[in-house]
Amino acid sequence: MSVLPTSGPRTALADAATLTGRALRHWVRQPAPVVITLLFPVLLVLMFGYLLGGAMAVPGGGDYREFLLPGMFAMAMLFGIETTYTAVATDAARGVTDRFRSLPIARWAVVAGRAGADALHAVAALAVLFGCALAVGWQWHLGVGRALAAAGLLLLLRLAMIVVGVHLALLLRAPESVAALQILVWPLGFASNAFVAPQTMPGWLATVAEWNPLSATVAACRELFGNPGWGGAGWPADHAVALAVAWPLLLIAVSGPLAVRRWRGLDR
């Protein structure tokens, strides 16, 4: 199956915007899944912050909810991979992707449209979580500029999850296999510094947690927000901001070409 030539980059961008609008219209018509994905991190904040937070100790002292919220911001970005995966895999399984590929639009416009929609979803998720965080007493302490930098790192992590999610969806093409993806995502999230400090873990698990890509983003956000618990004795803790940039870029550099290769392989 071949794609007819397009008129140029401007037309391709318009195609991507149209496909982003398609995803947004689906959300308007079926808002329940979107609302659930936006509110689920809020439920985790309330559960860990109030039900379990009293038993949690913050390294060096401090309020546990201020320690927790940067971790929950990053977890929301990580959980977004399931949204991307389900949407792309559903379109692939139903033949929608093949129909798009038969139209005179740029090949990358379909993926870019999906990425645009999921990026908007990530912004909405962060806005909801920021509102919840402020309501439970969390705040940043080092100025708006550093807070915006932290938000940028969170969105960079989400962009990496979009690329990884697209690749996995094109590889498996089975929406029901999202359960298997969850089995991988949840351990990745909990084997990090999002909920507890690595210092409280067994030695081998602490090493895994310190080098976890999610931990880099969480530690960097705590540092930029001025929240407690971001410090540490190892190299990853000392270079958290650099790693919070390097890890997502590495994931994009690896998964991006694989996704493109898989996309081209759909012709066969």
How does DSSP assign 192-250, residue by residue? SSSSS-GGGS-HHHHHHHHH-HHHHHHHHHHHHHT-TT---SSHHHHTHHHHHHHHHHH
Q: How far apart are CA 32 and CA 34, in angstroms?
A: 5
Type and span of the H or E element at 5: none
SS3 105: coil
The verdict on residue 212 lying in a domain is yes
How many domains does the chain contain in total? 1
Instruction: Report the 10 Å Cβ neighbour count for 8.
Output: 9
For tokens 């803790």, the residue is: 237
pLDDT tens for the chain, 268 residues long, are: 444 444 466 677 887 888 888 888 888 888 888 888 888 888 888 888 887 777 777 777 778 888 999 999 999 999 888 888 888 888 878 877 777 777 777 767 777 888 888 889 899 999 999 999 999 889 999 999 999 999 999 999 999 999 999 888 888 877 777 777 878 888 888 899 988 888 888 888 989 999 999 999 999 999 999 998 766 667 888 899 999 999 999 999 998 888 878 877 665 5
Tokens of 100: 């798009």
Does residue 2 form part of some domain?
Answer: no
Task: Return the pLDDT at 4.
Answer: 44
Q: Which domain holds residue 216?
A: 9-265
Residue 223 lies in a domain: yes
Q: Which helix (H) or strand (E) element contains residue 136?
A: none
What is residue 1's predicted lDDT score, i.e. its pLDDT?
A: 42
Q: CB neighbours of 195 closer than 8 A, spacing ≥ 6?
A: 48, 56, 68, 71
* pLDDT reported for residue 219: 93
Number of neighbours of residue 48 by Cβ within 10 angstroms: 20
Distance, CA of 37 to CA of 12 (rounded, Å): 30
Euclidean distance between CA atoms 189 and 191, whole angstroms: 6
Alpha-carbon gap, residue 89 to 95, rounded angstroms? 10
- Within a domain: residue 88? yes
Q: How far apart are CA 217 and CA 202, in angstroms?
A: 22
In a domain, 70, yes or no: yes
CA distance 218 to 216: 5
Inside any domain, residue 216: yes
pLDDT at residue 169, rounded to an integer = 87
Q: What pLDDT does residue 5 have?
A: 47
> Is residue 166 assigned to a domain?
yes
Model pLDDT, residue 252: 92
Alpha helices by DSSP H, the chain: 9-29, 31-46, 64-93, 96-101, 107-135, 144-172, 178-190, 203-211, 213-225, 235-238, 240-265
Q: Identify whether the C-beta of residue 196 lies closer than 8 Å to the C-beta of residue 56.
A: yes
Distance CA 207, CA 203 (A): 6
Residue 1 resides in a domain: no
